[in-house]
Structure 1
Amino acid sequence: MMRPIIEFCQSNMHNGTDAILKELENHPDYDVVEYGCLGNCGQCYAMPYALVNGEIVSADDADSLYTLIKEKIAEADAWANLDLD
């Protein structure tokens, strides 16, 4: 199973994503990366967001974003564990 990659934009930390980043960094099965810029400036300015396995996940507040990130990881895990034979 592939480890989820969760990417954060340093410029988005004012939206509360710094606490999410710190929380997820403590999880041994996640790869958490912080970049100076992820190139989504309009979204970055407006709301908390992150990339989960390359897909944008955004929410109205940091707590909701954390929940959506966890759901996106669970969804990816479910797909990875499907037996397609």
Structure 2
Amino acid sequence: MTNLSLGAADVYDVLLEREDIELTESGCTSNCEICECHLFAIVNGELIKAEDAETLLQNVENELKENSVLF
């Protein structure tokens, strides 16, 4: 919740609109040092962090592209 209140909610709202990914909200993730200083998301088990919402969204999208499988 702290992460969302610090600006990650904007990223969450954008990603919520996408039908090709599944979002899961979590309580405390025990990443206190990161949570205090950065916005972050966990994508496929990888911690993605950024200084601001725009950068976090870009980093999340990059991680999703790197891990996508094309058929």
TM-score, normalised by the number of residues in structure 1: 0.76
Unaligned residue ranges in structure 1 (runs of 5+): 1-9
Q: Output the amino acid matched with 1:18.
A: A
CA deviations over 1:35-74 (Å, ceiling 9, x no partner):
1211111101111000000100001111000000000000
Report the Cα distance in structure 2 between the residues aligned to 1:22 and 1:81, rounded to whole angstroms. 26
1:51 paired residue number: 42
Question: Which of these residues, 9, 15, 20, is aligned with residue 18 of structure 1?
Answer: 9
Moved over 2 A (4+): none
Report the Cα distance in structure 2 between the residues aligned to 1:14 and 1:45, rounded to whole angstroms. 12
Question: Which of these residues, 51, 63, 75, is aligned with residue 66 of structure 2?
Answer: 75
Unaligned residue ranges in structure 2 (runs of 5+): none
Report the Cα distance in structure 2 between the residues aligned to 1:38 and 1:76, rounded to whole angstroms. 22
Aligned Cα RMSD in Å? 1.4
Report the Cα distance in structure 2 between the residues aligned to 1:81 and 1:22, rounded to whole angstroms. 26
Higher relative contact order (CA 8 A, sep 6+): 1
Report the Cα distance in structure 2 between the residues aligned to 1:30 and 1:56, rounded to whole angstroms. 16
Report the Cα distance in structure 2 between the residues aligned to 1:43 and 1:17, rounded to whole angstroms. 13
TM-score, normalised by the number of residues in structure 2: 0.90
Identity, in percent, stands at: 28
How many residue pairs are counted as aligned between the two chains? 71
Q: Greater CA radius of gyration, 1 or 2?
A: 1
